[in-house]
Amino acid sequence: MKNRLIKLLKVLLFLSLGLFLVWFAIRGVTPEQQIQIKDAFRNANYYWVGLSLILALVSLISRAMRWNLMLQTLGHDPKLSNTFFAVMIGYMANYAPIPRLGEASRCGVLTRYEKIPFTESFGTVIAERLIDVLCLLLVFFITLLVEFEKINGLAHQYILDPLLKKFVLIGAHPLLTIIVIASGLTGLYFMIRFTNKQKEGSGIIQRGLKFLAGFVEGIKTVKHIHKPWQFLGHTILIWVIYYLTLHVCFYSLPETSKLGFSEGITIFAFGTLGVVFTPGGIGAFQVIVKNVLLLFAVSESVSIAFPWIVWTSSFLLILLVGLLSLVLLPLLNKDMSADAQPI
């Protein structure tokens, strides 16, 4: 009961954060701007949005192929269709306000239909996430080279200044300082206690160590990948297409069609952070992209409309293909459905 309550509170927290950021993104919009935003949606050239979605599908197929390379390193050879369906179901699950649901869902699909141990596939997914973080850092480095002044201002606005305010707040209130220190010491105490119990050994600990071993084995696939050049090629393709899916959307609106690579890479870098902050990026993506567009002298109405066009089209693609994947999985795996275990 207690665990269920904690999970429910987490769900409500993430959902509330997303809804708050949606409100934050559209607060203060005047009636005149509302008309301009509606006009932007009505007059947008959805040919470019459609092209963006086709590119997004290509990147998702490439991601499934890259995941197959990692799984093959572990001695598994899943069908590409099953891997792709698993990726799409995982992306769809990521819109739910439950942390790591997407990763668990996609691994559960392969456990059910390909009999791949969950711990191993989950380890490969974590390895993928680490690679994505490195790629995002590279994107920020490129952004720093082309738009140093603007990215410096954005970093202060979204990262450094909020952190500084938190530290100032803690320093100004001795009680908060005591709470932070006490929390750290308490966490250290329980960590030491857990380590001592782990040395003693138990059935639960043994199962935990087995889970950890499979998890680590999955992560190690990057080091022992059988086809490293294919893996690298897919990684580059995925991130280049990620950028292109945003850039081609610039041409959907007259005002954003004037933006170039330097503006695009900045919007892409900070917009990607928005996807990390909240489930599916709802609210955070719109707020961040809007503020970046304002820095590039895009009108406020278009700055509000553009990220909603991009986010909504992406959401609908993931939702439709994700639901289609749920339908096709059992149909294309009838020989496995009878003896499959629940995810």
DSSP H helical ranges for 201-296: 203-219, 228-247, 261-277, 284-295
Residue 226: strand, helix, or coil: coil
- Residue 317: per-residue pLDDT: 92
Domains of the chain: which residue ranges?
Answer: 37-330
pLDDT for the residue 137: 87
Tokens of 328: 């096709």
CA distances from 156 to 152, 165, 267, 325 (A): 6, 11, 16, 42
Whole-angstrom CA distances from 249 to 135, 145, 238 are 22, 23, 17
Closest CA to 89 of 102, 98, 80: 102
pLDDT for res 32: 64
| Cα–Cα distance measured from residue 341 to residue 123, given in angstroms and rounded to the nearest whole number | 20
pLDDT values of the chain reduced to their tens digit, one per residue, 343 residues: 555 565 555 555 545 544 554 555 555 555 665 666 777 778 889 999 999 999 999 999 999 999 999 898 888 889 999 999 999 988 888 877 666 677 888 888 999 899 988 888 888 888 888 888 889 889 988 888 877 666 666 656 655 555 455 455 445 555 555 555 555 555 545 545 544 554 444 455 555 555 455 556 555 666 677 888 999 999 999 999 999 999 999 999 999 999 999 889 999 988 888 777 666 777 778 888 888 898 888 988 888 889 989 988 898 898 899 889 988 988 888 776 445 444 4
- Residue 341: what pLDDT? 46
- What is the pLDDT, as a whole number, of residue 342? 42
